[in-house]
Every structure is written in structure tokens, then in C-alpha cells.
Amino acid sequence: MAVASIAPALVGDMADILGRRPVYILTLSVYSAANMAIALTRSYPSLLGLRVIQALSISGTFSIAYGVVTDVASPAERGSYAALVSFATTIAPSIGPILGGALTFAAGWWWTFWFLCIASSICLTVMVLFLPETSRHIVGDGSIPPPRMLQLPIPKTMNHWQNNDLDPAAVLWRVPNPLKSFTILWRKDNAIIIVACGLLYVIYTCINASLSTLFVKIYNLNQWEAGLIYLPFGIGGSCSAFISGRILDQSWHKARQAKGLSTDKAVDDNLDTFPVEKARLRVIWAPMLITTCLVIGFGWILHYHKFIAIPLVFQFFLGLVMQLDFSIYNTLLVDKNNRAPAAAQASSNIVRGAMAAIAVSFLQDMIDKLGIGWTFTFMGGLSLLASALFWIDYEKGAGWRQMDANDGVGL
């Protein structure tokens, strides 16, 4: 987790400047090779070193995904696209333990990494053959042909350039800056919502980190049953993916109507002057309040060892509302930083990964000293604090963003 919080800084600005396609190919190639090497190694030092390489290579890819979403989706429909990416990032910890446990039980632990190698190789092949370059820095709105090394290997595939006479090499290149992700944090409106997301991610990570331990201890589950307890959260998150995009897009539509502006989905709005904070955050208050109540209730149910079906139902609804929380946040972050979305997501990953790593390291001590109920009551307090930070951005964020834009801060 500590390594995964650092790696996005290395690829965020690189993807914004050099292009999404080459960075995707590089990171997935290293990830596939690292998984193959892990599956073949039998030495603990080698395993540890390869796991570091594995985490470094894959942890930045979701930052690139948000860059692609910002490239291809207008603000009016961006919520639906961002919700799908957010769903993928939050659902994996629910599916991973089940799949990993099944593979380990059936064929041995190394087959978990063979599976990851095969799956990532398939993704890599699909991207090499079919993912065009989308970075607006390189291809504009898609009408400018990218440099030849960024074009697809199959001629005329995804070729929708309006002017083939344009010079594909006429791109203003600069050296990627790994510190770009940190400079984004200098903007007050960015920092406040990134910290808010970090608090939410602490709650999410602590719930997932403690699930198997608490359920095994309280309900005497075996290893296979302990893996299955992650399913309700994942199913809730899956259901949320079908509704969060529509909620976000409708909220944007209403905000544009209230300002008397065009609601055409094909229009690439000027986000520098539009209050994206109010358009996105207007739908976050109910999910955040429900998140707070569910986290506290979940803790006390486990504290008093209530029937196992009750905390599983709570998990389902936690997955539903927390996925919505994250979708709203991620869409807002890329709207605020639409010129450098991958770097912005990388900065978010750095902060939330660091906060979660620290929290998890103290989690068991908190449970031992405070008890399960009071530990999750504390987590509910963190959710309330995150809501307060979102409210500050709702009220002040647009003004701060426009002031910083005039001063050239964090651009």
C-alpha cells in the first residue's frame, strides 16, 4: 500500500504529457512480467522485491484511466464514465480475496499470479491493438493525427482524423514532472477534497482490512467462508455503478439549466468559470450521511455479535453508498483539473494511500483498546469530517479555484 501511494506520481504527469497509450503499454508490460516472475520465484527476498515492482507498475494505471475519461467524455456525460472507473477501483478488494482464495485452494498460491499475468497480458494486447491515443495535448479533440509511434498498428483502425495533412509531430513536448501531482495539492480547493476523499478511503480500507479477522473471530468462519464475506460490499458497489452515473449526469444537467446555459452533451463546457463544485457536490450529502450511520451501526452490530446476516446487509448498503461517494468525488476532481486529470488523480492516490497505510497500521491497536463499536464510531466521525470538508469546497471551492487560476497556481 505504501509503494502504491508513491507510484502514481511517476506516471500521472507522464500520461498527461507523453500520452495515455505509451504509458499504459509500459506499465502493463512491466506488471505482466512482474507477475510471471512472482509465479516462478521461490525465494522470499525475490518475492518481496518483485511485489514492489508489481505495485509500482499497476498502481498508476487508474490515474491514466481518469485521464482517458476526461479526454473522451464531455462534462455532461462524464459522471457516467467516471462512475465505471471508480467502480473498478473500489470493487477489486471485494472480488480479489474470493478469486485469490479459490485459486490458492485449487491450484496453489502461485496460480494467483499466473492469473494476473494472463489477465493483464490480455488487457495489454487489447490496448496495443485497439486503444487510440486520446490525450488532448497530442490529438486535440481527436481531429489531429498523433505521432506515428502512437498510432495503432492496424491501419485505419480508430482513424477519425479530420485533416490528415496536419503534421503529427507538431506537439509541444516537455519533460514530465513527477512533482506535478504534488503541485496540484497547493490549490486549496484541490487539497480540501483530496483530504476528504482520503478520510473516506481510510474508512473503506479499514473495513476491508478488518472484515476477515473480525468475522472469523466472532462467527468462527473457515478460510473459504471468510473470503465470501467480501461479496455483499462488492454487490452493493456493482449496483451503485448503475445509478451513480445517471445521478451525476442529471445533477449536471440541472445545474446548467439553473444558470441558463446549454445542456447539449456534445458541448465541451468552459469549466474555468462554471461552478462545478455545486453541480457535483449537490448530490453527495445524503450518501455521506447514510455512510456515517452505516459505519457506526456496522461496528456496534459486530461489537454485540449480532446474527451474521445483519452485518452482511449493512455491508451491501455500505458498498452502495460509498461507491456513490467515490464516484461523485472522482468526477469533481477531474472536472476541477481537466487539463491534467491523470496528475490530479495521481495526487489523490498519493494522499489517500498514505492516509490508509497509516490508519491500517494502527487499526488492530484501536480495536484492542477501544473495542469494535467505538473504533467504528470513530470511523463515522471521520465520515462527518469528510462531509464538512466537502461542504467547505461546495461554498468556497469555485472562488478559490478561479483565484488560483488567475495566479497560475497548480495548473
SS3 label, residue 161:
coil
Are the CB atoms for 349 and 59 separated by under 8 Å? yes
Angle value at C-alpha 210, between 317 and 359, nearest 5 degrees: 100
- Of 45 and 1, more confident: 45
- Grade residue 404 by pLDDT with cuts at 50, 70 and 90: confident
Q: Which residues contact 260 (CB under 8 A, 6 or more apart)?
A: none
- Distance between CA atoms of 29 and 123, rounded to whole angstroms? 10
Q: What pLDDT is attached to residue 91?
A: 72
Q: In residues, how long is the chain?
A: 411
What average pLDDT does this structure show over 380-403?
A: 95
The larger pLDDT score, comparing residue 191 to residue 230, is at: 191
- In angstroms, the CA 136 to CA 72 distance is 9
How confident is the model over 267-296, as a mean pLDDT? 90
Q: Residue 42 is placed in which grid cell?
A: 521461490
DSSP 167-189: -TT--------TTHHHHGGGSHH
Domains of the chain: residue spans and CATH: 1-155 (1.20.1250.20), 177-410 (1.20.1250.20)
- Residue pair 331/83 in contact (Cβ under 8 Å)? The answer is yes
Q: Which residue in the block uniquely carries the three cell numbers 445542456? A: 263
Helices marked H in 59-186 — which ranges? 61-72, 75-107, 110-130, 136-139, 180-183
If one compares 286 and 224, the residue with the highest pLDDT of the two is 286
The closest of 49, 51, 62, 53 to 23, measured between CA atoms, is 62
Q: Where are the beta strands (DSSP E) in 153-255?
A: none
At 44-96, the pLDDT tens digits run: 888 889 988 998 888 878 888 888 988 888 888 888 888 888 777 767 777 77
List phi, psi (to 5°) of 270.
-85, 100
Question: Which carries the bigger pLDDT value, residue 219 or residue 179?
Answer: 219
pLDDT tens, 9-22?
778 778 888 889 99
Q: Which amino acid is at 171?
A: V
Task: Give the C-alpha distances (Å, rounded to integers) separating 393 from 196, 227, 356.
Answer: 10, 38, 22
